[in-house]
RNA sequence: GCCGCCGUAGCUCAGUUAGGUAGAGCGGCUGGCUGUUAACCAGUCGGUCAUAGGUUCAAGUCCUAUCGGCGGCGCCA
Protein backbone atom coordinates (compact mmCIF):
# COMPACT_ATOMS: atom_id res chain seq x y z
CA UNK A 1 0.00 0.00 0.00
CA UNK A 2 1.08 3.60 -0.51
CA UNK A 3 3.23 4.94 2.32
CA UNK A 4 1.09 8.04 2.61
CA UNK A 5 -1.95 5.94 3.49
CA UNK A 6 -0.02 4.49 6.45
CA UNK A 7 1.03 7.97 7.57
CA UNK A 8 -2.64 8.97 7.35
CA UNK A 9 -3.28 6.45 10.14
CA UNK A 10 -5.40 4.00 8.17
CA UNK A 11 -3.41 0.92 9.18
CA UNK A 12 -2.58 1.38 12.86
CA UNK A 13 -1.73 -2.02 14.42
CA UNK A 14 -2.44 -3.72 11.10
CA UNK A 15 -0.21 -5.77 8.85
CA UNK A 16 1.04 -3.95 5.79
CA UNK A 17 3.27 -4.54 2.79
CA UNK A 18 5.17 -1.62 1.30
CA UNK A 19 7.61 -1.33 -1.53
CA UNK A 20 10.00 1.44 -2.33
CA UNK A 21 13.56 2.59 -1.89
CA UNK A 22 15.81 3.03 1.14
CA UNK A 23 15.99 6.73 1.89
CA UNK A 24 18.05 6.60 5.11
CA UNK A 25 19.62 3.81 7.13
CA UNK A 26 20.61 4.04 10.78
CA UNK A 27 22.18 1.06 12.39
CA UNK A 28 22.33 0.00 16.04
CA UNK A 29 23.21 -3.26 17.70
CA UNK A 30 19.59 -4.03 18.55
CA UNK A 31 17.70 -2.12 15.88
CA UNK A 32 18.19 -1.05 12.30
CA UNK A 33 16.11 1.91 11.20
CA UNK A 34 15.28 2.02 7.52
CA UNK A 35 13.53 5.10 6.24
CA UNK A 36 11.71 3.98 3.12
CA UNK A 37 10.30 6.21 0.42
CA UNK A 38 7.80 5.61 -2.34
CA UNK A 39 6.16 8.14 -4.64
CA UNK A 40 3.70 9.13 -1.93
CA UNK A 41 5.91 9.70 1.10
CA UNK A 42 8.56 8.42 3.50
CA UNK A 43 8.15 6.22 6.56
CA UNK A 44 10.49 4.74 9.14
CA UNK A 45 10.73 0.96 9.39
CA UNK A 46 12.36 -0.79 12.32
CA UNK A 47 14.12 -4.11 12.08
CA UNK A 48 14.92 -5.80 15.38
CA UNK A 49 17.85 -8.13 15.87
CA UNK A 50 15.54 -11.08 16.38
CA UNK A 51 13.46 -10.36 13.27
CA UNK A 52 13.80 -12.65 10.24
CA UNK A 53 14.38 -9.46 8.27
CA UNK A 54 17.58 -8.65 10.18
CA UNK A 55 20.17 -10.22 7.89
CA UNK A 56 18.73 -8.56 4.79
CA UNK A 57 18.45 -5.24 6.59
CA UNK A 58 22.09 -5.40 7.67
CA UNK A 59 23.39 -5.58 4.12
CA UNK A 60 20.93 -3.21 2.45
CA UNK A 61 22.24 0.13 1.16
CA UNK A 62 20.80 3.60 0.59
CA UNK A 63 18.56 3.70 -2.54
CA UNK A 64 18.19 -0.08 -2.76
CA UNK A 65 14.71 -1.13 -3.80
CA UNK A 66 12.85 -3.45 -1.47
CA UNK A 67 9.59 -4.80 -0.14
CA UNK A 68 8.80 -4.86 3.55
CA UNK A 69 6.02 -6.63 5.34
CA UNK A 70 5.31 -5.75 8.92
CA UNK A 71 3.01 -4.20 11.47
CA UNK A 72 2.18 -0.50 11.70
CA UNK A 73 2.76 1.07 15.08
CA UNK A 74 1.98 4.53 16.28
CA UNK A 75 5.18 5.87 17.81
CA UNK A 76 6.03 9.43 18.67
CA UNK A 77 9.73 8.69 18.24
CA UNK A 78 9.19 7.97 14.55
CA UNK A 79 9.29 10.83 12.08
CA UNK A 80 5.76 11.08 10.72
CA UNK A 81 4.27 9.49 13.86
CA UNK A 82 3.92 5.96 12.46
CA UNK A 83 6.45 3.26 11.78
CA UNK A 84 6.47 -0.23 10.34
CA UNK A 85 7.93 -2.98 12.47
CA UNK A 86 9.42 -5.21 9.80
CA UNK A 87 8.85 -8.93 9.86
CA UNK A 88 9.91 -9.68 6.31
CA UNK A 89 12.26 -7.78 4.04
CA UNK A 90 13.17 -8.62 0.45
CA UNK A 91 15.84 -6.73 -1.41
CA UNK A 92 14.85 -6.24 -5.05
CA UNK A 93 17.82 -4.26 -6.31
CA UNK A 94 20.83 -3.77 -4.06
CA UNK A 95 22.20 -0.29 -4.74
CA UNK A 96 25.85 0.63 -5.13
CA UNK A 97 27.03 3.42 -2.85
CA UNK A 98 24.75 6.33 -3.68
CA UNK A 99 26.77 9.40 -4.66
CA UNK A 100 24.41 11.95 -3.13
CA UNK A 101 24.92 12.60 0.56
CA UNK A 102 24.22 15.57 2.75
CA UNK A 103 26.97 17.67 1.17
CA UNK A 104 26.13 18.60 -2.37
CA UNK A 105 26.63 21.50 -4.71
CA UNK A 106 24.43 22.86 -7.46
CA UNK A 107 27.00 21.77 -10.00
CA UNK A 108 27.19 18.19 -8.72
CA UNK A 109 23.42 17.84 -8.57
CA UNK A 110 23.19 18.99 -12.18
CA UNK A 111 25.81 16.43 -13.19
CA UNK A 112 23.76 13.62 -11.65
CA UNK A 113 20.32 15.02 -12.28
CA UNK A 114 19.00 11.53 -13.16
CA UNK A 115 19.62 10.55 -9.53
CA UNK A 116 18.77 13.91 -7.94
CA UNK A 117 15.28 13.63 -9.43
CA UNK A 118 14.65 11.00 -6.73
CA UNK A 119 14.99 13.64 -4.05
CA UNK A 120 12.07 14.70 -1.96
CA UNK A 121 12.46 18.22 -3.27
CA UNK A 122 12.32 17.38 -6.97
CA UNK A 123 9.50 14.94 -6.32
CA UNK A 124 7.42 17.72 -4.78
CA UNK A 125 8.15 20.22 -7.55
CA UNK A 126 7.23 17.69 -10.23
CA UNK A 127 3.91 17.03 -8.52
CA UNK A 128 3.09 20.73 -8.41
CA UNK A 129 4.12 20.99 -12.05
CA UNK A 130 1.69 18.21 -12.97
CA UNK A 131 -1.06 19.89 -10.99
CA UNK A 132 -0.43 23.29 -12.59
CA UNK A 133 -0.73 21.66 -16.01
CA UNK A 134 -3.98 20.08 -14.91
CA UNK A 135 -5.36 23.38 -13.55
CA UNK A 136 -4.39 25.10 -16.78
CA UNK A 137 -6.21 22.55 -18.92
CA UNK A 138 -9.14 22.74 -16.52
CA UNK A 139 -9.46 26.47 -17.10
CA UNK A 140 -9.13 26.34 -20.88
CA UNK A 141 -11.69 23.56 -21.02
CA UNK A 142 -14.14 25.48 -18.82
CA UNK A 143 -13.82 28.41 -21.19
CA UNK A 144 -14.70 26.26 -24.21
CA UNK A 145 -11.19 25.92 -25.65
CA UNK A 146 -10.05 22.92 -27.68
CA UNK A 147 -6.56 21.53 -27.08
CA UNK A 148 -4.60 21.12 -30.29
CA UNK A 149 -1.22 19.69 -31.24
CA UNK A 150 1.04 21.98 -33.26
CA UNK A 151 4.26 20.82 -34.97
CA UNK A 152 7.73 21.16 -33.45
CA UNK A 153 9.47 20.99 -36.85
CA UNK A 154 8.87 24.18 -38.73
CA UNK A 155 10.01 25.51 -42.06
CA UNK A 156 10.17 29.25 -41.34
CA UNK A 157 10.76 31.57 -38.48
CA UNK A 158 7.79 32.48 -36.34
CA UNK A 159 9.23 35.80 -35.33
CA UNK A 160 11.96 36.08 -37.91
CA UNK A 161 14.41 35.77 -35.05
CA UNK A 162 17.97 34.63 -35.17
CA UNK A 163 17.32 32.49 -32.13
CA UNK A 164 16.06 29.41 -33.93
CA UNK A 165 17.67 26.02 -33.64
CA UNK A 166 18.28 24.73 -37.14
CA UNK A 167 18.41 21.06 -37.98
CA UNK A 168 18.90 18.69 -40.87
CA UNK A 169 15.59 17.24 -42.01
CA UNK A 170 16.56 14.60 -44.54
CA UNK A 171 18.14 16.78 -47.21
CA UNK A 172 16.47 20.02 -46.14
CA UNK A 173 17.05 22.57 -43.41
CA UNK A 174 14.32 22.99 -40.85
CA UNK A 175 13.99 24.63 -37.46
CA UNK A 176 12.60 23.80 -34.06
CA UNK A 177 9.59 25.92 -33.23
CA UNK A 178 9.94 28.88 -30.89
CA UNK A 179 6.19 29.41 -30.58
CA UNK A 180 3.10 27.59 -31.81
CA UNK A 181 1.21 30.84 -32.30
CA UNK A 182 1.07 30.86 -36.09
CA UNK A 183 -0.25 27.30 -36.14
CA UNK A 184 -2.89 28.12 -33.55
CA UNK A 185 -3.92 31.00 -35.79
CA UNK A 186 -4.63 28.47 -38.56
CA UNK A 187 -6.86 26.43 -36.30
CA UNK A 188 -9.07 29.26 -35.02
CA UNK A 189 -10.75 29.31 -38.44
CA UNK A 190 -12.33 25.95 -37.69
CA UNK A 191 -12.15 25.32 -33.95
CA UNK A 192 -12.30 28.99 -32.90
CA UNK A 193 -10.96 28.85 -29.32
CA UNK A 194 -7.79 26.78 -29.30
CA UNK A 195 -4.84 26.24 -26.99
CA UNK A 196 -1.79 24.07 -26.69
CA UNK A 197 0.82 23.19 -24.12
CA UNK A 198 3.90 22.36 -26.10
CA UNK A 199 7.67 22.83 -26.09
CA UNK A 200 9.28 25.92 -27.55
CA UNK A 201 12.96 26.14 -28.37
CA UNK A 202 15.15 29.22 -28.18
CA UNK A 203 18.78 29.37 -29.20
CA UNK A 204 19.40 32.42 -27.06
CA UNK A 205 22.72 32.29 -25.27
CA UNK A 206 21.15 33.51 -22.07
CA UNK A 207 22.79 32.64 -18.78
CA UNK A 208 20.22 33.49 -16.17
CA UNK A 209 18.01 31.83 -13.59
CA UNK A 210 14.97 32.37 -15.82
CA UNK A 211 16.02 30.97 -19.21
CA UNK A 212 15.84 27.51 -20.73
CA UNK A 213 16.60 26.60 -24.33
CA UNK A 214 13.65 24.18 -24.26
CA UNK A 215 10.61 25.22 -22.30
CA UNK A 216 6.91 24.44 -22.20
CA UNK A 217 4.73 27.09 -23.68
CA UNK A 218 1.09 27.53 -22.71
CA UNK A 219 -0.46 29.22 -25.74
CA UNK A 220 -4.03 30.26 -26.49
CA UNK A 221 -5.57 31.89 -29.54
CA UNK A 222 -9.14 32.81 -30.31
CA UNK A 223 -11.24 34.90 -32.74
CA UNK A 224 -13.75 37.73 -32.24
CA UNK A 225 -11.84 39.15 -29.29
CA UNK A 226 -9.98 42.31 -28.35
CA UNK A 227 -7.27 43.44 -25.94
CA UNK A 228 -9.63 43.61 -22.99
CA UNK A 229 -10.80 40.06 -23.62
CA UNK A 230 -7.18 38.96 -23.86
CA UNK A 231 -5.96 40.50 -20.61
CA UNK A 232 -9.05 39.40 -18.76
CA UNK A 233 -8.60 35.83 -19.95
CA UNK A 234 -4.94 35.75 -18.97
CA UNK A 235 -5.48 37.14 -15.50
CA UNK A 236 -8.35 34.77 -14.86
CA UNK A 237 -6.26 31.85 -16.05
CA UNK A 238 -3.45 32.77 -13.68
CA UNK A 239 -5.84 33.42 -10.81
CA UNK A 240 -7.50 30.05 -11.39
CA UNK A 241 -4.21 28.17 -11.42
CA UNK A 242 -3.03 30.00 -8.30
CA UNK A 243 -6.25 29.45 -6.41
CA UNK A 244 -6.36 25.74 -7.24
CA UNK A 245 -2.69 25.35 -6.32
CA UNK A 246 -3.31 27.03 -2.97
CA UNK A 247 -6.18 24.61 -2.36
CA UNK A 248 -4.57 21.42 -3.53
CA UNK A 249 -0.80 21.81 -3.22
CA UNK A 250 -0.53 23.30 0.26
CA UNK A 251 1.53 20.42 1.58
CA UNK A 252 3.96 20.55 -1.32
CA UNK A 253 4.37 24.33 -1.00
CA UNK A 254 5.00 24.01 2.70
CA UNK A 255 7.58 21.24 2.37
CA UNK A 256 9.31 23.24 -0.35
CA UNK A 257 9.43 26.28 1.90
CA UNK A 258 7.20 28.27 -0.44
CA UNK A 259 4.49 30.57 0.81
CA UNK A 260 0.97 29.63 -0.34
CA UNK A 261 -0.33 33.02 0.74
CA UNK A 262 1.31 34.55 -2.32
CA UNK A 263 -0.67 32.42 -4.76
CA UNK A 264 -3.76 32.39 -2.55
CA UNK A 265 -3.87 36.20 -2.68
CA UNK A 266 -3.81 36.47 -6.47
CA UNK A 267 -7.01 38.24 -7.43
CA UNK A 268 -8.45 39.74 -10.57
CA UNK A 269 -8.37 42.29 -12.01
CA UNK A 270 -4.59 42.74 -12.18
CA UNK A 271 -3.05 46.19 -12.29
CA UNK A 272 -2.66 47.28 -15.92
CA UNK A 273 -0.50 50.11 -17.16
CA UNK A 274 0.31 51.19 -20.68
CA UNK A 275 3.85 51.27 -21.96
CA UNK A 276 3.65 55.07 -21.84
CA UNK A 277 2.61 54.99 -18.17
CA UNK A 278 5.43 52.57 -17.47
CA UNK A 279 7.93 54.99 -18.99
CA UNK A 280 6.54 57.72 -16.71
CA UNK A 281 6.72 55.52 -13.64
CA UNK A 282 10.33 54.67 -14.42
CA UNK A 283 11.06 58.35 -14.88
CA UNK A 284 9.62 59.03 -11.42
CA UNK A 285 12.11 56.48 -10.09
CA UNK A 286 14.93 58.25 -11.85
CA UNK A 287 15.22 55.75 -14.68
CA UNK A 288 15.20 57.60 -17.99
CA UNK A 289 13.67 55.69 -20.89
CA UNK A 290 12.85 57.35 -24.17
CA UNK A 291 9.46 56.45 -25.61
CA UNK A 292 10.14 53.72 -28.16
CA UNK A 293 12.97 52.06 -26.26
CA UNK A 294 12.35 48.52 -25.07
CA UNK A 295 12.52 47.79 -21.35
CA UNK A 296 15.39 45.82 -19.93
CA UNK A 297 15.16 43.33 -17.11
CA UNK A 298 16.15 45.99 -14.58
CA UNK A 299 13.30 48.20 -15.76
CA UNK A 300 10.82 45.35 -15.43
CA UNK A 301 12.16 44.58 -11.98
CA UNK A 302 11.74 48.18 -10.89
CA UNK A 303 8.12 48.15 -12.05
CA UNK A 304 7.45 44.70 -10.56
CA UNK A 305 8.83 45.77 -7.18
CA UNK A 306 6.31 48.59 -7.17
CA UNK A 307 3.34 46.24 -7.66
CA UNK A 308 4.68 43.24 -5.78
CA UNK A 309 2.29 40.97 -7.68
CA UNK A 310 1.40 40.03 -11.26
CA UNK A 311 0.51 42.96 -13.54
CA UNK A 312 0.25 43.93 -17.19
CA UNK A 313 2.13 46.38 -19.34
CA UNK A 314 0.30 46.91 -22.63
CA UNK A 315 0.27 49.00 -25.81
CA UNK A 316 3.95 48.83 -26.64
CA UNK A 317 5.59 50.78 -29.46
CA UNK A 318 5.08 48.95 -32.75
CA UNK A 319 8.77 49.23 -33.53
CA UNK A 320 9.81 46.85 -30.76
CA UNK A 321 7.11 44.27 -31.44
CA UNK A 322 6.85 41.42 -33.95
CA UNK A 323 5.45 41.86 -37.46
CA UNK A 324 2.17 40.11 -36.68
CA UNK A 325 1.17 42.52 -33.90
CA UNK A 326 -1.92 44.47 -34.78
CA UNK A 327 -1.54 48.24 -34.58
CA UNK A 328 -4.06 50.91 -33.68
CA UNK A 329 -5.50 52.24 -36.93
CA UNK A 330 -5.41 55.83 -35.67
CA UNK A 331 -2.01 55.33 -33.94
CA UNK A 332 0.03 52.90 -36.02
CA UNK A 333 3.07 53.55 -33.84
CA UNK A 334 1.35 51.68 -31.03
CA UNK A 335 0.84 47.90 -31.10
CA UNK A 336 -1.96 46.01 -29.39
CA UNK A 337 0.27 43.91 -27.18
CA UNK A 338 0.41 43.02 -23.53
CA UNK A 339 3.09 41.46 -21.34
CA UNK A 340 2.28 39.92 -17.99
CA UNK A 341 5.04 40.47 -15.47
CA UNK A 342 5.70 39.07 -12.01
CA UNK A 343 8.24 40.09 -9.36
CA UNK A 344 11.75 38.62 -9.65
CA UNK A 345 11.06 36.74 -12.90
CA UNK A 346 9.82 39.56 -15.12
CA UNK A 347 7.83 38.54 -18.19
CA UNK A 348 5.92 35.32 -17.84
CA UNK A 349 3.56 35.90 -20.72
CA UNK A 350 3.29 37.92 -23.90
CA UNK A 351 0.17 38.36 -25.95
CA UNK A 352 -1.74 40.68 -28.19
CA UNK A 353 -4.08 41.20 -31.07
CA UNK A 354 -2.85 39.77 -34.37
CA UNK A 355 -2.85 41.80 -37.55
CA UNK A 356 -5.89 40.64 -39.50
CA UNK A 357 -5.67 43.00 -42.50
CA UNK A 358 -3.74 41.38 -45.32
CA UNK A 359 -2.35 44.61 -46.76
CA UNK A 360 -1.19 45.99 -43.42
CA UNK A 361 0.40 42.63 -42.63
CA UNK A 362 2.29 42.58 -45.95
CA UNK A 363 3.49 46.11 -45.27
CA UNK A 364 4.72 45.09 -41.81
CA UNK A 365 6.49 41.99 -43.15
CA UNK A 366 8.33 44.17 -45.66
CA UNK A 367 9.17 46.81 -43.05
CA UNK A 368 10.75 44.15 -40.84
CA UNK A 369 12.90 43.02 -43.73
CA UNK A 370 11.21 39.63 -43.90
CA UNK A 371 10.27 37.70 -47.00
CA UNK A 372 6.59 37.74 -47.95
CA UNK A 373 7.06 34.37 -49.61
CA UNK A 374 7.92 32.69 -46.30
CA UNK A 375 4.54 33.68 -44.91
CA UNK A 376 2.37 32.69 -47.82
CA UNK A 377 0.14 30.36 -45.85
CA UNK A 378 -0.05 32.87 -43.02
CA UNK A 379 -1.27 35.53 -45.45
CA UNK A 380 -3.83 33.07 -46.80
CA UNK A 381 -5.52 33.20 -43.40
CA UNK A 382 -6.21 36.90 -44.09
CA UNK A 383 -7.39 36.16 -47.63
CA UNK A 384 -10.08 33.69 -46.69
CA UNK A 385 -12.48 35.05 -44.11
CA UNK A 386 -10.12 37.05 -41.92
CA UNK A 387 -11.26 37.74 -38.41
CA UNK A 388 -10.00 39.84 -35.50
CA UNK A 389 -8.26 37.59 -33.03
CA UNK A 390 -5.97 37.59 -30.04
CA UNK A 391 -3.61 35.18 -28.39
CA UNK A 392 -0.83 34.80 -25.86
CA UNK A 393 2.00 32.56 -24.78
CA UNK A 394 2.94 31.88 -21.17
CA UNK A 395 6.10 30.17 -19.99
CA UNK A 396 5.15 27.25 -17.78
CA UNK A 397 8.53 27.07 -16.09
CA UNK A 398 8.63 30.79 -15.38
CA UNK A 399 5.17 30.49 -13.87
CA UNK A 400 6.29 27.62 -11.63
CA UNK A 401 9.50 29.37 -10.68
CA UNK A 402 7.49 32.35 -9.53
CA UNK A 403 4.76 30.32 -7.79
CA UNK A 404 7.19 28.12 -5.85
CA UNK A 405 9.87 30.76 -5.36
CA UNK A 406 12.45 28.47 -6.94
CA UNK A 407 15.98 29.79 -6.98
CA UNK A 408 16.49 28.71 -10.57
CA UNK A 409 14.14 27.86 -13.42
CA UNK A 410 15.98 24.58 -14.06
CA UNK A 411 14.31 23.02 -11.04
CA UNK A 412 10.86 23.53 -12.52
CA UNK A 413 11.43 20.93 -15.26
CA UNK A 414 12.81 17.40 -14.85
CA UNK A 415 15.37 17.52 -17.64
CA UNK A 416 16.40 21.15 -18.11
CA UNK A 417 18.15 22.18 -21.29
CA UNK A 418 20.32 25.23 -20.99
CA UNK A 419 23.17 26.61 -23.01
CA UNK A 420 25.52 24.27 -21.12
CA UNK A 421 23.34 21.39 -19.92
CA UNK A 422 21.59 18.67 -21.93
CA UNK A 423 22.46 15.50 -20.01
CA UNK A 424 20.82 13.15 -19.32
C1' G B 1 27.76 38.90 -27.85
C1' C B 2 29.75 41.65 -23.27
C1' C B 3 31.21 41.32 -17.94
C1' G B 4 32.28 38.86 -13.23
C1' C B 5 33.26 34.48 -10.25
C1' C B 6 34.72 29.30 -9.56
C1' G B 7 37.70 24.39 -10.49
C1' U B 8 42.04 20.69 -4.22
C1' A B 9 39.79 13.05 -1.94
C1' G B 10 33.39 9.88 -4.20
C1' C B 11 30.85 14.68 -1.88
C1' U B 12 31.35 19.67 0.83
C1' C B 13 35.37 22.67 1.71
C1' A B 14 40.13 24.79 4.21
C1' G B 15 45.01 25.68 2.46
C1' U B 16 46.17 30.89 -2.36
C1' U B 17 46.83 37.16 1.17
C1' A B 18 52.91 36.31 2.42
C1' G B 19 55.83 29.93 -2.56
C1' G B 20 58.74 25.58 1.96
C1' U B 21 56.28 17.59 3.73
C1' A B 22 48.45 17.51 0.79
C1' G B 23 44.41 18.84 5.35
C1' A B 24 39.30 18.51 7.76
C1' G B 25 34.16 17.03 7.80
C1' C B 26 30.78 13.81 5.29
C1' G B 27 30.51 9.11 2.54
C1' G B 28 33.08 4.00 2.21
C1' C B 29 35.42 0.03 5.10
C1' U B 30 36.49 -2.25 10.32
C1' G B 31 35.02 -2.26 15.33
C1' G B 32 31.81 -0.23 19.35
C1' C B 33 26.90 1.49 20.94
C1' U B 34 19.44 -0.86 24.00
C1' G B 35 15.11 3.82 19.76
C1' U B 36 17.89 6.27 15.91
C1' U B 37 15.84 11.22 13.69
C1' A B 38 20.76 13.45 7.14
C1' A B 39 22.56 9.17 14.87
C1' C B 40 26.92 8.91 17.87
C1' C B 41 32.25 7.09 19.39
C1' A B 42 37.13 4.98 17.77
C1' G B 43 40.21 3.39 13.86
C1' U B 44 41.16 3.14 8.65
C1' C B 45 41.15 3.63 3.22
C1' G B 46 41.02 7.58 -0.12
C1' G B 47 44.77 12.92 -4.21
C1' U B 48 46.87 13.77 -12.20
C1' C B 49 45.47 20.23 -6.41
C1' A B 50 40.97 20.96 -14.14
C1' U B 51 44.86 20.64 -18.37
C1' A B 52 49.41 22.40 -20.71
C1' G B 53 53.47 25.48 -20.47
C1' G B 54 56.50 29.16 -17.75
C1' U B 55 59.13 31.71 -13.38
C1' U B 56 61.85 29.60 -9.10
C1' C B 57 66.62 25.93 -5.31
C1' A B 58 61.28 24.96 -4.40
C1' A B 59 54.46 26.03 -7.18
C1' G B 60 47.90 23.76 -4.89
C1' U B 61 49.81 28.91 -4.08
C1' C B 62 52.94 33.46 -8.82
C1' C B 63 52.51 34.22 -14.60
C1' U B 64 50.41 32.71 -19.57
C1' A B 65 47.18 29.85 -22.45
C1' U B 66 43.39 26.25 -22.83
C1' C B 67 39.20 23.36 -21.07
C1' G B 68 34.96 22.87 -17.92
C1' G B 69 31.15 25.08 -14.74
C1' C B 70 28.07 29.11 -12.39
C1' G B 71 25.94 33.88 -12.49
C1' G B 72 24.81 39.19 -14.29
C1' C B 73 23.61 42.07 -18.71
C1' G B 74 21.73 41.95 -23.75
C1' C B 75 17.72 38.92 -25.93
C1' C B 76 13.34 36.54 -24.46
C1' A B 77 8.59 33.14 -22.03
Mean pLDDT of all residues in chain A?
94
Checking DSSP bridges between strand A82-93 and strand A42-48, what pairing results, if any?
A: parallel
* Tens of pLDDT, residues A13-72: 999 999 999 999 999 889 999 999 999 999 999 999 999 999 999 999 999 999 999 999
Q: How far is the CA of A206 from the C1' of B67 (A)?
A: 21
* Tens of pLDDT, residues A156-176: 755 555 689 999 999 998 999
Taking the C1' atom of every nucleotide in all shown strands and the CA of A350, the nearest one is B77
Looking at residue A157, its pLDDT comes to 59
Q: Is the pLDDT of residue A368 over 70?
A: yes
Looking at residue A156, its pLDDT comes to 74
Looking at residue A159, its pLDDT comes to 57
Give yes or no for CB of A63 within 7 Å of strand B: no
Taking the C1' atom of every nucleotide in all shown strands and the CA of A409, the nearest one is B77
> Strand B: which residues 35-54 of A lie within 7 A (CB)?
44, 46
Closest CA to A294 of A335, A327, A235, A348: A335
Q: How far is the CA of A111 from the C1' of B38 (A)?
A: 21
Q: How far is the CA of A416 from the C1' of B6 (A)?
A: 22
Checking DSSP bridges between strand A31-37 and strand A65-74, what pairing results, if any?
A: unpaired
Q: How far is the CA of A100 from the C1' of B60 (A)?
A: 26
Euclidean distance between CA atoms A241 and A252, whole angstroms: 15
* Lowest mean pLDDT segment, chosen from A94-98, A189-193, A365-369: A365-369
The two most distant CA atoms of chain A are separated, in Å, by: 87
Q: How far is the CA of A404 from the C1' of B13 (A)?
A: 30
Looking at residue A228, its pLDDT comes to 97
* Tens of pLDDT, residues A107-158: 999 999 999 999 999 999 999 999 999 999 999 999 999 999 999 999 875 5
- A19 DSSP β-pair partners: A67
> Strand B: which residues 160-179 of A lie within 7 A (CB)?
161, 163, 179
Euclidean distance between CA atoms A396 and A217, whole angstroms: 6
Give yes or no for CB of A31 within 7 Å of strand B: yes
Q: How many H-runs (helices) and E-runs (strands) does chain A carry?
A: 14, 16
Taking a C-beta distance cutoff of 8 angstroms, is the pair A156, A365 a contact? no
Closest CA to A217 of A188, A263, A178, A165: A178
> Strand B: which residues 313-372 of A lie within 7 A (CB)?
320, 339, 346-350
Q: How far is the CA of A399 from the C1' of B12 (A)?
A: 32
Give yes or no for CB of A105 within 7 Å of strand B: yes
- A163 DSSP β-pair partners: none
* Tens of pLDDT, residues A169-207: 999 989 999 999 999 999 999 999 999 999 999 999 999
Taking a C-beta distance cutoff of 8 angstroms, is the pair A410, A368 a contact? no
> Strand B: which residues 182-241 of A lie within 7 A (CB)?
200, 202, 204-213, 215, 217
Q: How far is the CA of A418 from the C1' of B59 (A)?
A: 37
Euclidean distance between CA atoms A118 and A21, whole angstroms: 10
Q: What positions of strand B are covered by protein, i.e. any atom < 7 Å from a CB? A: 1-3, 10-13, 25-29, 32-40, 68-77
* Tens of pLDDT, residues A231-283: 999 999 999 999 999 999 999 999 999 999 999 999 999 999 999 999 999 99
Amino acid sequence: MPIQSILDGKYEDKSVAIRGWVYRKREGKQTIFLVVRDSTGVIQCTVKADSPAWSEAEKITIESSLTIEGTVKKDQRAPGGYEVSAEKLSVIGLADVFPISKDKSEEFLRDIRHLWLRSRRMNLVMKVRADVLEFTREFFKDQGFVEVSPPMFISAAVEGGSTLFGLKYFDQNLYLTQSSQLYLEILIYSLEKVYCIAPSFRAEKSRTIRHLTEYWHIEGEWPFADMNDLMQFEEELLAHVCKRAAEKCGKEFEELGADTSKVASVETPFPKITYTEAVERLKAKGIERKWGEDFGYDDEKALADEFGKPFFVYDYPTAIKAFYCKTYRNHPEVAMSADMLVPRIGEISTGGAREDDKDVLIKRIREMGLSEKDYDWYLDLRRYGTVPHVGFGMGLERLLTWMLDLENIIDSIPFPRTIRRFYP
